[in-house]
Amino acid sequence: MCGIIGYCGPKEAPRILVEGLKRLEYRGYDSAGIGVGTDGRLTVIKKAGKIRTLAEHIPEDLTGTFGIGHTRWATHGVVNDTNAHPHTDCSGRIALAHNGIIENFESLKEVLRSEGHTFHTDTDSEVIAHLIGKYYSGDLEKAVREAVSLLRGTYGIVCVHAEEPQRIVGARNGSPLVLGIGHDEMFLASDVTAIIAHTKQVVYLEDGEMASITPSDYRTSDLKDRTVEKAVEKISWELQEIERGGYTTYMEKEIMEQPESIKRAMGGRVEPEQATAHLGGLNMTTRELINIERVNIIAAGTSFYAGMVGAYLLESMARIPSFAELASEVRYRNPVVERNSLYFAVSQSGETADTLYAMKELQRKGASVLGICNVVGSSIARASDGGVYIHSGPEIAVASTKAFTSQITVFYLFCLLLARMRDMSLETGLGFVRNLQQIPEKVSQVLQSRQHIRELSQKYCGYRNFLFLGRGVNYPVALEGALKLKEISYIHAEGYSAAEIKHGPIALIGEETPSLFIVSDDHLKEKILSNMKEVKSRNGKVIAVCPKGDHEIMDVADDTIEIPSTSELFYPFLTVVPLQLFAYYCALELGRDVDQPRNLAKSVTVE
């Protein structure tokens, strides 16, 4: 995710800004830049690539006592020097850095263009600099206030004007911003990591709040220009602890981020009143969407399991025959591309060679392939005929977690869109939207039970083999749970449909092989309950992930992980999180390198 720092004070701003940006590196980024003010001038330097590349391009004699810095993780526009922040307005006197996504940037841009503004980047952020320029008449804070009240979407911004030396103005809505109070110096940053080396006294801004800082003073206010008195808080964390945002590993951080990342995947895409979804990047007309007769999903690893959830949903809710297949298999089996079939290539990194080559093979045969990717501008995103970004933020741990829940979020949205064009009534659609919107809060509740899951992991991590069993929409979740355990703890685990154990895996059951069942309160529950009893009667230990207070399950299982209830098809969000945590804590207990497990890579660019 992008990072922000702003500084005003007696020290050399370029050095403080670059140091701050380095502290934000852990978040993942693809380009960086600074804007420094001195003697009524602004100097902006920005570079694609690492911060050390940026640092090499900063002239040694560049001085200045105020400025802003940014690390970009591309969402709108490819990674290059131009699209990096800070952005300037037409006068070149205003520089701005932005985190977040401005949803109405295209309409704002159109208006600004008609008023004579010239744009140089493909970013959504540049419109904010121009809007501030438009409203500026000697008071930066006032101009920022007027500009941000026109924005729809999320933002954390910092902004400077050449003629207002040592003043930085910030505003927040949905993207964090914190104010740091030092000795004769002040900071604004997206994350305390950037400033903790200088001060531990901070003021956290809330959505709809702004801050204006000078070296000796600050003011916090709301969008109506009313002063907001804020408590000064002391950061209790030490520098070393917060480099991963306070978490021991990236994987833990990424698991814990899921309520937020799911919200981001939904951001601006749900139309609650019409009970439908808006996915602008599909590049498909309503007619083309209505004409779809079949959906094929290709992917690898965790993305493949997300695709299986997607196929299940599309078939059961949108009533479209849908099928997920391993990309590595599609490529070499000379696939038949049917008319009116739609293809999805799902990939967190957007670089997985198996998926990319299968996609190209399908396109060669005339297929239209849409991408569902996290990394903007990645090879699959570029090669696709349209698609949807999941906006998870960088996923750094090799084992994928938050990308899975964001990928399935996109499938729920796509399913809603297609289903509402077909059989789904407005009333059913409204229920669907309600269930989806409740998911982030319910995922938070699952995360709160992590201590219990940790204790279970300590109890079970000594076993060498596991079965993960689920049915229906939770069958892919069982496969994903087994994959997570294998990947990071090196414990052998098999994912199966619970119905299938009688056709083979039941031979493995005994004291030495525990089974983890995923049970939801749907039409298959009774059948899974019978499978659980079959395991129990063969001395197999049973752990069950089940809805809270389900005594029928609790009476049979040796241990349970309770989750909140939801509507039948929405369970994968809530059942996968305990499995991620279970694998995580087993690996931790066994002393594994959780973030970089042996033999695995985050982005597999070879076949």
Number of residues that bind ligand G6P (CB under 6 A): 16
Q: Which of 123, 173, 249, 302 binds ligand G6P (CB under 6 A)?
A: 302
**What are residue 124's phi and psi, to 5 degrees?**
-75, -30
Q: Which of 349, 392, 513, 520 binds ligand G6P (CB under 6 A)?
A: 349
The pair of three-digit structure tokens given for residue 426, joined into one six-digit string: 């407005």
Q: Is 602 marked active-site?
A: yes
Query: Whose Cβ is closer to ligand G6P: residue 317's or residue 375's?
Result: 375
Q: Which of 303, 409, 520, 531 binds ligand G6P (CB under 6 A)?
A: 303
Classify residue 513 by its DSSP letter: B
Instruction: Examine residue 249 and tell whether it contacts ligand G6P (CB under 6 A).
Output: no
| Other CB atoms within 10 Å distance of the CB of residue 427 | 9
What SS3 class is residue 522? Answer: coil
Nearest distance in Å: CB 240, ligand G6P? 27
Distance of alpha carbon 597 from alpha carbon 577, whole angstroms: 20
Taking CB under 6 A as the binding criterion, the range among 87-95, 103-111, 298-306, 573-581 that sits at the site for ligand G6P is 298-306
Instruction: Examine residue 71 and tell whether it contacts ligand G6P (CB under 6 A).
Output: no
Query: Whose Cβ is closer to ligand G6P: residue 235's or residue 604's?
Result: 604
Q: Which are the contacts of 339, defined by CB distance < 8 A and separation ≥ 6?
A: 293
Nearest distance in Å: CB 486, ligand G6P? 11
Query: Whose Cβ is closer to ligand G6P: residue 302's or residue 405's?
Result: 302
Q: Which of 83, 193, 276, 347 binds ligand G6P (CB under 6 A)?
A: 347
Instruction: Examine residue 418 and tell whether it contacts ligand G6P (CB under 6 A).
Output: no
Instruction: Examine residue 300 and tell whether it contacts ligand G6P (CB under 6 A).
Output: yes
Instruction: Examine residue 379 and tell whether it contacts ligand G6P (CB under 6 A).
Output: no
Residues 588-607 that bind ligand G6P (CB under 6 A): 600, 602-604
- Residue reference for tokens 């703890």: 489
In angstroms, how far is CA 326 from the centroid of its own chain?
Answer: 23
Distance of alpha carbon 291 from alpha carbon 288, whole angstroms: 5
Q: Which of 35, 301, 371, 472 binds ligand G6P (CB under 6 A)?
A: 301
Distance of alpha carbon 309 from alpha carbon 317, whole angstroms: 12
Residue nearest to ligand G6P (CB): 301
SS3 content of the chain, % helix, strand, coil (to 5): 40, 25, 35
Closest CA to 266 of 436, 477, 427, 432: 436
Residues 81-120 that bind ligand G6P (CB under 6 A): none
Instruction: Examine residue 261 and tell whether it contacts ligand G6P (CB under 6 A).
Output: no
Query: Whose Cβ is closer to ligand G6P: residue 208's or residue 281's?
Result: 281
Q: Which are the contacts of 422, defined by CB distance < 8 A and separation ≥ 6?
A: 290, 318, 319, 320
Query: Whose Cβ is closer to ligand G6P: residue 191's or residue 254's?
Result: 254
Of 2, 8, 373, 586, which residue is the catalytic one?
Answer: 2
Q: Is 2 marked active-site?
A: yes
Taking CB under 6 A as the binding criterion, the range among 2-10, 66-74, 349-357, 458-466 that sits at the site for ligand G6P is 349-357
Taking CB under 6 A as the binding criterion, the range among 150-158, 397-405, 512-520, 541-549 that sits at the site for ligand G6P is 397-405
Query: Whose Cβ is closer to ligand G6P: residue 87's or residue 402's?
Result: 402
Classify residue 270 by its DSSP letter: E
Pairing state between β 3-8 and 66-72:
antiparallel
**What are residue 180's phi and psi, to 5 degrees?**
-110, 130
Instruction: Examine residue 78 and tell whether it contacts ligand G6P (CB under 6 A).
Output: no
Instruction: Examine residue 406 and tell whether it contacts ligand G6P (CB under 6 A).
Output: no
Instruction: Examine residue 173 and tell whether it contacts ligand G6P (CB under 6 A).
Output: no
Query: Whose Cβ is closer to ligand G6P: residue 228's or residue 604's?
Result: 604
Distance (Å) of CA 281 to CA 103, 264, 277, 380, 482: 13, 16, 12, 14, 33
Instruction: Examine residue 329 and tell whether it contacts ligand G6P (CB under 6 A).
Output: no
Taking CB under 6 A as the binding criterion, the range among 66-74, 136-144, 210-218, 394-402 that sits at the site for ligand G6P is 394-402
Query: Whose Cβ is closer to ligand G6P: residue 202's or residue 398's?
Result: 398
Is the peptide bond between 86 and the residue preceding it cis, with omega within 30 degrees of 0?
A: yes
Query: Whose Cβ is closer to ligand G6P: residue 51's or residue 381's?
Result: 381
SS3 sequence, 118-183? CCCCCCCCHHHHHHHHHHCCCCHHHHHHHHHCCCCECEEEEEEECCCCCCEEEEEEECCCEEEECC
Classify residue 198 by its DSSP letter: T
Distance of alpha carbon 289 from alpha carbon 115, whole angstroms: 37
Q: Which of 355, 368, 409, 489 binds ligand G6P (CB under 6 A)?
A: 355
Closest CA to 457 of 561, 554, 600, 547: 561
Nearest distance in Å: CB 392, ligand G6P? 11
Instruction: Examine residue 341 and tell whether it contacts ligand G6P (CB under 6 A).
Output: no
What are the residues binding ligand G6P (CB under 6 A)? 300-303, 347-349, 352, 355, 398-400, 600, 602-604
- Residues acting as catalytic residues: 2, 602
